[in-house]
Structure 1
Amino acid sequence: MESDDKDIARNKDLQKAQDITVFPTSTTPVKIESLIYVIRDQQVMLDSDLASLYGVETKVLNQAVKRNIQRFPADFMFQLTKEECLRSQIVTLNEGRGKHLKYMPHVFTENGVAMLSSVLRSEKAIEVNINIMRAFTAMRNFMMNHSSLFQRIDRLEMKQLKTDEKVDAILDRLSEYTEAREGIFFNGQIFDAYVFVAKLIRKAKQRIVLIDSYIDDSVLVQLSKRAPGVTVDIYTGQISRQLRQDVERHNAQYPGVTLHNCTKAHDRFLIIDEDVYHIGHSLKDLGKKLFAFSKMDVMTGTELISRL
């Protein structure tokens, strides 16, 4: 009898989880996208926010998931730590969540949210999940289409910061650097492009190889930012007497730069140790016109040099 009562209670909870409401389609994308966070380099949604969308209590949603836990591996759902909650400020302590470790919220990745449709199988649940999937896609497209922005702010989650903290947080994030694999610099972004290349140069541990047909002393100024002991090989098709003198003066203080005559390359490349970057503009003219860059995985720096 006791077992039957428990089954009845579970069925009632499941029915509650399935009896959901859906926001109007016209407002769903805006509402849902504001509830997507980036934690552990993944786009996720809080259990409490999902429960609100489904129109059920958070406890009811988590109970339904717990009964189907085999469908939710670690890459579908995980529990936040107290530090993550405090750092991200996505859970307010005065609401009771985050005070004790047992109250740490769970978050669901895009795959986890999709799996919820197998736990909450009503037509309304399916409608909510479809809208959430569209929101995830919209967020992913936004991040891809604005990759140059995220180079500078390192996925700064502005919506999670208190108003009086936004300015300090932006300044702190702008002082950091997250390596981007590709991006575009527009006409006039001279300093931004200069900083980008300087970061790459400082990153080198053993060698830098520059393949660029147009070199002047401004490029040597950039190369002076490399770490001590890092060598530089410059492959260029125009080695003038002035350039040779400039390199000699440079080497007197920052030894390690070697010039190589090369007429086989049309594009510009910057090799940092073994990483190869295709640069759409000569280093001496960065930011003066629109150009793109990308980190290439088709070959190593050694392989590229061997074909010059």
Structure 2
Amino acid sequence: MNEVVPIQNKIYEIRGQRVMLDRDLAELYGVTTGALNQAVKRNSERFPTDFMFRLTDTETENWKSQIVITNSITKGLRRNPYAFTEQGVSMLSAVLKSPTAVQTSIAIMRAFAAMRNYIASTTTVTAELSELRAKLALLERADTDNAEAINDLSEDMRRELDGIYEAIAALSVRIPRAQPPRRPIGYKK
């Protein structure tokens, strides 16, 4: 039973936990839902509330709407299904005691592990993307600040250049100065 993807499609998040429902587990183990639930009831001490719980009416309705449940499935749904956590699924292999149950349990545990790894890797990637977005935002702000500084510098530079041009213009204007009288050119008489 190496079909991890179909098993992952049967893992739901209910009450903040990843769980599998009794009807899906019964199908995977090759038994009826009634037989699976009967085995669980006979070994109830092995299934504390953190291993297994029954869905409420609201949770069942939400589950039905999530998977767009067909009439053929709803006809067989007389009671709210039981939800088994990863530990509860592991305990099922000890209760059902068949070679198929053991192999199915191994495949299910691998599916849970694959989901944990996927969630962990996507969480890491999401964190890295958030960090990159923050750095990009800082760079954009710095770029805007630099552009404003250049504009301010350009305005200051223009003022200074205007002052230099005025000084050069002032220097190039000749101020007539009083010159001592010249001696006439030529011979003396």
2:19 match: 44
Q: How does 1:1-308 map to 2 (within 5 A)?
A: 23=1, 25=2, 28-88=3-63, 89-90=66-67, 92=69, 94-95=71-72, 97=74, 103-147=79-123, 183-185=127-129, 189=133
Identity of aligned residues (%): 46
Deviation at 1:85, TM superposition (A): 2.0
Q: Unpaired runs of 5+ in structure 2?
A: 143-189
2:183 match: none
Q: Return the structure number with greater relative CO, CA threshold 8 A, min gap 6.
A: 2
Which letter maps to 2:89?
A: V
- Whole-Å separation in 1 of the counterparts to 2:76 and 2:37: 19
Deviation at 1:104, TM superposition (A): 0.4
Which deviates more from structure 2 when the two are superposed, residues 76-85 or residues 140-149? 140-149
Alignment length (residue pairs): 140
Deviation at 1:86, TM superposition (A): 2.1
2:179 match: none
- Whole-Å separation in 2 of the counterparts to 1:75 and 1:139: 19
Deviation at 1:189, TM superposition (A): 3.3
Q: 1:145 to 1:63 in 2, by over 3 A?
A: same
The TM-score with structure 1 as length reference comes to 0.40
- Whole-Å separation in 1 of the counterparts to 2:79 and 2:103: 29
3-state secondary structure, aligned to 1:184: helix
Which letter maps to 1:184?
A: E
Which letter maps to 2:91?
A: M
1:197 match: none
The answer to which structure has the higher strand fraction is: 1
Q: 1:99 to 1:132 in 2, by over 3 A?
A: closer
The TM-score with structure 2 as length reference comes to 0.63
Deviation at 1:113, TM superposition (A): 0.4
- Whole-Å separation in 2 of the counterparts to 1:109 and 1:83: 19
Deviation at 1:186, TM superposition (A): 6.3
3-state secondary structure, aligned to 1:117: helix
Flag the structure with larger Rg.
2
Q: Unpaired runs of 5+ in structure 1?
A: 1-22, 152-182, 195-214, 220-308
- The answer on whether the counterparts of 1:77 and 1:112 sit within 8 Å (CA) in structure 2 is yes
- Whole-Å separation in 2 of the counterparts to 1:40 and 1:186: 27
Which letter maps to 2:69?
A: T
3-state secondary structure, aligned to 2:128: strand
- The answer on whether the counterparts of 1:78 and 1:108 sit within 8 Å (CA) in structure 2 is yes
Deviation at 1:127, TM superposition (A): 0.7
